Each structure stands twice: as C-alpha cells, then as structure tokens.
Structure 1
Amino acid sequence: MSSIRPSVRTFLLSTALVLLCATGASAAGLGVGTVNADGLRLRAEASTDASILATANSGTHTVVLEDTGDGWYKVSLNGIEGYMSGEYLDVADEGDADLGQGKVESGGSTLNVRSGPGTSYDRLGSLNDGAVVDITGVDSGWYKISFNGSTGYVSGDYLAPCTDSGSTSASSALGQQIVDYAMQYLGTPYVWGGNGPNSFDCSGFTKYVYNHFGYNINRRASHQLQNGVAVDRSELQAGDLVFFYNGKDSTPVSHVGIYIGDGDFIHASSNSYTVEISSLYAPNYDQKYVYARRII
C-alpha cells in the first residue's frame, strides 16, 4: 500500500479542447490574491494535511473566492479551485492582474458588460451564456475583462474562472509542475546514493522532486513501486514514475525516472552520470521498460 495520501482527482470533461471552469464565485467575497512565497501549495481542503492540487511561486495571482475565517482562503488558481494559507497570500478587494480566462454562466440569458464595477455604470454591451473572456482584474466583487478591445466589468456571480485550454484535471496540472521543477536539475551529477540537490542517483532524484511537492515517496526504486497506482504505458501523463529492469538485479526494477510527455522522461542516469532527458523508445530503454506508477 502506498505510504502517501492519494491526491484528490477531479473528474471533469475529458475532451482536451474544452475549457474547464470552476463554480461561479459569490461577488461579495471576490478578490485578487498575490502569492508572497515560493512553492505555496494549493490544497484540496483548508488544512496542511490535505492533498496538494498545485503549487504557485511568489508573484502569482489567484482569484480569491472566499475567506474561510480560519487563516485560509478558497481560491481559483488557473481555474483549479482549492485552498491556500492566508499567511502566504496578500489579498485585496481590487487589483489588476492576469487571471486567465472566465466563462459566462448566466443560466441561458445574456450578461451585461458595464463601464465600471456596478449596475449604475453605463452598459457597454452583453455576453452570451457560455462566452469565454480574458480576466484582467477584480474590483469590488466584479471581474474586469477585455471587451471589444477595451476594458469592461461583469458581476462575479456570473463568471467562472477556467483552466488553461487543454488541461483536463488538477492532477495533470500538478504533474506538469513536477516536470518543470525536475527540469531545473538537468546536468546535475549522478552519484550512487545521492539524495540531492548537488547530486542524485535515480531514486534519490525522484524522491527529492516529489518531496518538494509534499509527497514522501520511498527511497529505493523497487520500493517506489509501492507508491501511487499502476498506469498503463499508453496512458502515461506528465509526472508519472517510469520503471526499468536490466535483467540482472534481484529486485523487480533497476531504474526509475519521471515521465515528461511525448515519449520522453527525465532521470539521473548511471550511463551518462548526469540528470538527462531520454526517450522511452530508445532501444536501451524501450526493451527494459516494465512499469509506471501515478503518485498524484
């Protein structure tokens, strides 16, 4: 059994071209949050024990949906809804920021676009239910949006932040962040027993990367087979662990890396003695590939 908590999986529409949107926020609680520390974790619940949905570095902007009243905020980070600690989040009722895209959820009617944040401002036009717009800020419970080449405002009750196009779940978003973090260590020397950050062996590298995101996976490659859930090779996604067997060791696997997409994986290689990117389809790895595990 895995020694780590499984990540909360968000079962959303599977079509890659569909924008995924959070539930519309109450206008009264709407605000903009700015992360003030690197590696702030977006949690599934308002607790440090809750599963990690994503991480954000200093300067990242989020849509604040609700103050939970216990030192946490319910937020939308790139359309992924979760909770962030208020200790590392500067919150304001208004502010300009690139907050991604939003989808109009007006129950089938049109949504008025105003020249300012309130119904007393001039009407600039309207948006149809389902329309997708760029969110450029928040002001007094209203979203500031790009509208016909200028700036408009719509009520926060009828606009839902959306994920980036092509993202299908919180799990895949975090998987890409894991890959991005691992890529920082390209070229780091391979040393047997290396635990990082100045040197790694293969399982030391995977453990170090996952530990950064709050996942305490096992140390040895063969023991990391006990973490997460099995994944078929045809269903690999960014962040999955991929395992290989050289046919010589007494353990079920002899090597492990992190899948990055397009048939490639990043790993601490004992062949090149460095952290590098290799292809699963290279003869040396295609013939030795045996398993994959999904940790998040």
Structure 2
Amino acid sequence: MNTKALIGILIFLLLITWNIKSFAKTAEATVTVNIRSSPSTSSKVLGIFPKGFKAQVLSSTVGWVKISFDGVVGYVKADYIKLTKDSSTSNAVKSSTNKKQVVSQIPTATVLKDNARVRSNMSTSSKILKTLSKGSKVYVLAREQNGWIKVKTLDGTVGYMAYYLLKMSTGLTTKISSRGGYDREAQVDYNDSLADRILGFAKKFLGVRYRYGGSSPSTGFDCSGFVQFVFRNFGISLERTAADMAATNGIKISPSELKPGDLVFFDTDGGRNYINHVGIYLGGGKYIHASSARGCVTISSLATKYNISFMMAKRVLR
C-alpha cells in the first residue's frame, strides 16, 4: 500500500471518529452485549451492557465504541448499539436566534404522600432540595430508566422524585416558556402500576450473568443483589441478603395471596430450615431471579420449587 492511500485511510478513520465524538454523547444497547477490555472479540469480558440501557461514549474505533457504564470502562461492538446525537449545540443556536414563546405540552403529577422529597439526584442519599405535601402538583420533565422522575415544582425547583411518590395525570398541561426547555420524552403513558413498572425494569436484566456477591448489571448479580438493585431504583430499600430480607422487609403473606411484585423466598438446599434465595413474583406462577444454577437472571416456575424449597412470601409494595 502506497503512502497516499495509507494517509487517505487514516484521514477517513479520523473523520469517522470525529463525527461520532462530535454528534454523540451516549450509546444505547439494542441487545445485551459484552463490555470488553479491548476492541476484539477475543479480549477479556469486563462486564455487561444490558439491552435498553445507555452509557457515556468515550471514543470509537472501526467497529467498536469505548463506553463507560456503571463504573466499567471498555469496548462494545458498534453493531449492537445505537448512538444518541447531541443536539445541545443546535438547540443553543435556535434559542439565540429565535426568542419567540414556545408552547410546550407538559405532563403533571400529584404528590401522594406528605413530606415527599425532591432530591438533587437519582438516589435516596442525595441532597433534599424540597419537601412537598400530599396533593401538591409538579411538572414532569423526564421519566428516567432507573425508577426516578425528573420534576419541576410550581415554584421552579428542579429535581428528582421516586415513582411511587407520584400519580401521573392522564392529560397534559399547557405551559408557555420563552425557551421551551421541557423534555418531550416526558410524554409517556404512566398508567401502569408500580408493580408493573418494577417488573418491567427487572426484565431488562434477563440474561445478565450470575455472580456471587454481585449487585451490578455490568458485572453480574446474585439473587438478593438483583432484588435489592431493582427495588432500590424505585426508592425502596431492602436488606442485602435473602435471609435478612425475609426477616426484616415487608409483611408476610400466604402463597394464595401472591401478587406481582411480591418477594418469594426459598431454601435451595431442600432442608427447609434456612432462607438462602429470593426472587420477584411475576404472576401466573412465575418469578424472576438471579439463578446460580442457570448462571444468569432468568424466569422460573414457582410450582417447581413449592414442594422442595419454597419457604415464604412477603409483600413490600403498599
């Protein structure tokens, strides 16, 4: 290959990289894909990038994109992700040249509990910006993937609230803004129950590998790590181990009372004297759990466990 051809190829590759860096900040997994240590299918698997989740794009090379997801930095195949364009620049240009008022259709929500907290970030440990009384109204700016809603209070405070603290309105409220600025992604159907949203979130991790002591989708889950992770993303705190969850969290219910979102507990050794496994009931006699036997998050039939290792069920949703 002559020098001119080589230079041409290098320029082409640089342009591709520049375009991706300039117009994309996030990558969304179209299937669950491995995060690898280098841009090669033979390199070490560092973690998992689950389908439907987003990650920060750090750089790119031919056929691969380097991402940062859940604390793991590595490479994923470009064929299995889609890049999200960064439209902030074009929006800034539009706002500077067009000062007309924009009419935005903004969903609203009603606060369900007194002393409901608006937080600075999507975490129960983040700063409390404001507390709201039952019946207060907020504007819904965005629905986040991890069980939080970005809101704006009537006095202008912007922050995050857990799903279960809010009841979404069925209609949209018209709001006039000089800059627009409201997230159009907020216009979604919020009619699903909290249990449905939790189960939908849990199913995103089907196929994520089992890892003893694991509590992260990128590196793997054990049974209680999976359950704790799912509920924590909806602002519900659970104990770390299956035994402690069974002893501390929720109220005990009979098998005949099981509803989707309840927790089911087992003694997988068959001795029926110690709880060492937990899953989330889906309904129809099925439950989702991180299974060491199958090596991943999977769905199983509750009937296969009843006579051997089923121990109890508890309800943590109100």
Q: Which structure has the bigger radius of gyration?
A: 2
Relative contact order, higher structure (CA 8 A, sep 6+): 1
Using the size of structure 2 for normalisation, the TM-score is 0.45
Greater fraction of residues in helix: 2
In the superposition, the TM-score normalised over structure 1's length comes to 0.48
